[in-house]
Amino acid sequence: MRKNLTLSQKLDDALTALRDLSERQQNLENLLHQKALSADDLVKINPLLRRNSIANDAATQKQLMSLWAASPPMVLAHRDLVECGFRAFSQNDEDGILLRLFAQIGTTNRYAIEIGSNCNHSDIGIPENLTTNFIINHGWHASVIELEEVECSRMRYFFARAHATQHYHWEREGVNTYYSPNIVQQMVSPENINEVLIAANPQVEPDLLVLDIDGGDYAVMENVTAIRPRVVVVEFEKRFRDRYSVVQPDRNQFSKRWQQSGATSLNAWINLLDLKGYRLCTVGTCSYNAFFVRADVAEGKLETLSASEAYDSHPVFSSISEDFWVVPDESWVTV
C-alpha cells in the first residue's frame, strides 16, 4: 500500500483510474490509444469522453472530491468552479461544478429538490438533470417534482432499476412505491409552491434546490418561503447579456421568437435572490445555468460573481457578434 502520498501523487492516481476506466469504453478505444490523458487534463478532455468515463464511476468522483477538500483554497472563484465542470447525468458541465462547489462548502443533509426534470431530451435515456448524479453516485436523497405523468413514470423506471436506488421501494396495495428519490407528479405555481415543497420533502434547509420549468420560474422562486436551501440553481436567458433586468411572465410566449434558455435575465435573478440572501457564484459554460449560494454559506469560501463578469470572462460570449444580443420585446417586463 502506498502511504503518505502527496496531493500531486493522489491526483495522478485519480487520473490514472479515470484513464483506465475510459480505456474500457468500446466506442472510445481508438481515441484513447491516440492520446493518453495527462495529469492536468481532467477539465480539458472531450465532453463525450468525460461523460462516458465518469458517469457511473462513483469511486473516481469521490476521490476527486476528497482531493479538492484536502487542499481547499481560502476563497474559490468562478473560474475555479467552471474549470472543474464535467457531465455525468447533467446536460452540460453542471455535475462537475456542483461537486466542486460542495467540496468547498460541505454538505449538511445531502438532500436535493429538483423542480422540472425529465428523460424526454436525454441522449442516453436517463433523467438528464442536476440531482441524478448525487442520487446515484453519492447517496443523496431527493424529491423530483415534474408535471408530466409519462416523464415521472420514466424516471421511476430508471431509479427502480439503478443499483444504487432499486432497494428504496415497498409494495403498497399492489403498487410499488419508490422512496428515494421521491418522484412527485405535480404542477407548481406561485400559489402552491410552498404547499408542494412542504409535502414533498422533510428538510427546511436542503443542500440543493434546482428550478427548471421553462417559464414561470421567477414568480415561483419569488414566492418560496417554506425552505432556505443552501444552494440554488436556476436557468436564465443569456441573450440579454447583462443589460436588462427582465422577466417573461407568460409561459405561452416561451421560445416563440428564438430558442430561449430561460424566462428570466441573469440581472433579474441576481436582484431577486439578493433579497433572499443569496450570492451568484458561477454560471455554467453554456451560460444558462446560474449557481447561487446562500450568503452565510458562501462567506469566506466563494467569490461573488457579477452579471458583467460572467459575460466578460466567457471565452465565447465575451467576443460574440453584437447581432447575437437581443432587446426585450413586449412579452418581457422589467423587474
Query: Do residues 49 and 15 touch, judged by C-beta distance below 8 A?
Result: no
Asked if 44 and 59 sit in the same domain, the reply is no
Collect contacts of 27-32 with beta carbons under 8 A, ≥24 apart.
Answer: 27/52, 28/52, 28/53
Domain span at 5: 1-52
- Give the pLDDT confidence score for residue 95 in this predicted structure: 93
Asked if 230 and 326 sit in the same domain, the reply is yes
Asked if 286 and 319 sit in the same domain, the reply is yes
Query: Do residues 221 and 272 touch, judged by C-beta distance below 8 A?
Result: yes
Domain end, chosen from 52, 68, 85, is at: 52
In tens, the pLDDT along 127-175 reads: 778 999 999 999 999 999 999 888 888 888 888 888 888 888 777 777 6
Asked if 39 and 102 sit in the same domain, the reply is no
Domain end, chosen from 13, 29, 52, is at: 52
Asked if 34 and 109 sit in the same domain, the reply is no
- Give the pLDDT confidence score for residue 69 in this predicted structure: 77
Asked if 262 and 183 sit in the same domain, the reply is yes
Asked if 269 and 323 sit in the same domain, the reply is yes
Q: Which residues of the chain have pLDDT under 70?
A: 1-8, 10-56, 119-125, 175-176, 178
- Give the pLDDT confidence score for residue 40 in this predicted structure: 46
Asked if 180 and 313 sit in the same domain, the reply is yes
Asked if 41 and 62 sit in the same domain, the reply is no
Whole-prediction pTM value? 0.82
Question: How many domains are there within the chain?
Answer: 2
- Give the pLDDT confidence score for residue 242 in this predicted structure: 96
Asked if 160 and 282 sit in the same domain, the reply is yes
CA 104 vs. chain centroid, Å, equals 16
C-alpha cell at position 309: 463578469
